[in-house]
Amino acid sequence: MITVERLSKTYRVADKQPGLAGTLRHFLRRRQRDVSAVRDVSFAIAPGEMVGFLGANGAGKTTTLKMLCGLIYPSSGQVLVAGHQPQRRHPDFLRRITLVMGQKQQLIWDLPPMDSLRVNAAVYGIPDRVASRRIAELSDLLELGEELTRPVRKLSLGQRMKAELLAALLHEPELLFLDEPTLGLDVNAQLRVRQFLAEYNRRTGATVLLTSHYMADITALCPRVLLIHQGQLFHDGPLDRLTSRLAPERHVRLELEEPAPAEAFSGLGRLDSLENCEVNLRVDPASLTRVLAQILERFEVRDLEVNDPPIDQLIGELFRQGSL
């Protein structure tokens, strides 16, 4: 459905120093600088896949997404989406895709969503009878009712997002580009949107590419994750593989019957904390079984837990550090 080969995008930006002098210099002699937003990215997505697209702000996610929709011309590389070169924006291509942006809306602010839906039906050339049927089906799935006949400005953020999704899916696209579709929604509304997307994918077999800041969206929906970091593809594969790559150690939490000194844990792993009977260790997965056996041999253990560090914490750290 999507093939991307050695895709790059370079922006030309003007540097401006602060202050009046900087402004004057900026006006007289503009210094241009090339910033590469996306570098040499390659991947392929099969029909029906749900793929999560991760990356910090400014990592190049949105730029890549927009190149896939045809909104930005790539600087170099090949993109083929649904058999088309997106940047040509061929009508057949546009009928097969949709874009939902969490922070932008296409619904008419002062009118009920139904009016915007009727406009979209006309634009896509969907006969009224068919449009009504699709609206009924989708609003049922989205749990939208009389909200469709209330002005958009009077809807809650969650209701508005659901109406946006309905407007974006009216033409039954095969390919959904979702840029932060749950941005700013409360936990319940996020869950509702997530369930809807999973159900939509199951029913229609649509391909979904989703960016989100909420790891819960990704873990719930996307078996496969693309992580883009400083414009480059850092990871392509299942989420748990990303976890083990980012955090090669397992967290082992112990509750002992009797307190033990720190020296007692030497050779077992890295000691994170030791408080009376509670011990936190980080252990290399390769030696995990050996270490656990030794622990059970050496100590009277009341409770034992082995965990992966939480993924959002790991990725959060990655984004904060800004390097790998």
Partner 1 sequence: MGRYWRTLRRFWGTALATQLEYQLNVVVELLAVVLSLGGSLLLLSLFFGPGRELGGWNWNQALIVQGFYTVFDGMTTAWLRPNLGAIVTYVREGTLDFVLLKPIDSQFWVSLRTFAPAGLSEVVLGLGLAAWGAHQSGVVLTPAVLLTVLLMLMVAAVILYSLWFLIAATSIWFVKTWNATEVLRAVLASGRYPLEAYPAPLRLLFTLVVPVAFLTTVPAEVLLGRASLPLLVLGFVLSAVFFAAARSFWLFALRHYTSASS
72 is an interface residue for partner 1 by CB under 8 A: yes
Dist. CA 6–CA 39, nearest whole Å? 7
Total of chain residues touching partner 1, rule CB under 8 A: 35
63 is an interface residue for partner 1 by CB under 8 A: yes
- Within 13 A of 300's CA, how many CA atoms are on the CB side? 5
CA 307 from chain center: how many Å?
24
Using the Cα atoms of residue 101, residue 106, residue 111 and residue 117 in order, give the sign of their dihedral: negative
CA-nearest of 207, 233, 232, 204 to 221 is 207
* Footprint of partner 1 on 3-22 (CB under 8 A): 11
Dist. CA 321–CA 94, nearest whole Å? 38
183 is an interface residue for partner 1 by CB under 8 A: no
Residue 129 gets the label, from left (phi > 0), alpha (psi -120 to 50) or beta, of alpha
* Footprint of partner 1 on 117-136 (CB under 8 A): 118-119, 121-125
71 is an interface residue for partner 1 by CB under 8 A: yes
68 is an interface residue for partner 1 by CB under 8 A: no
User: Coil, helix or strand for 118?
Assistant: helix
> What track of x and - describes contact with partner 1 for positions 281 through 300 (by CB under 8 A)?
--------------------
- Of the listed pieces 65-73, 226-234, 245-253, 306-314, which binds partner 1 according to CB under 8 A? 65-73
101 is an interface residue for partner 1 by CB under 8 A: yes
Dist. CA 268–CA 280, nearest whole Å? 11
99 is an interface residue for partner 1 by CB under 8 A: yes
For residue 292, the 8-state DSSP code is H
Of 69 and 222, nearer to partner 1 (C-beta) is 69
106 is an interface residue for partner 1 by CB under 8 A: yes
Chain residues in the site for partner 1 (CB under 8 A):
11, 37, 62-63, 66, 69-73, 89, 91-92, 94-95, 97-99, 101, 104-106, 108, 110-111, 115-116, 118-119, 121-125, 151
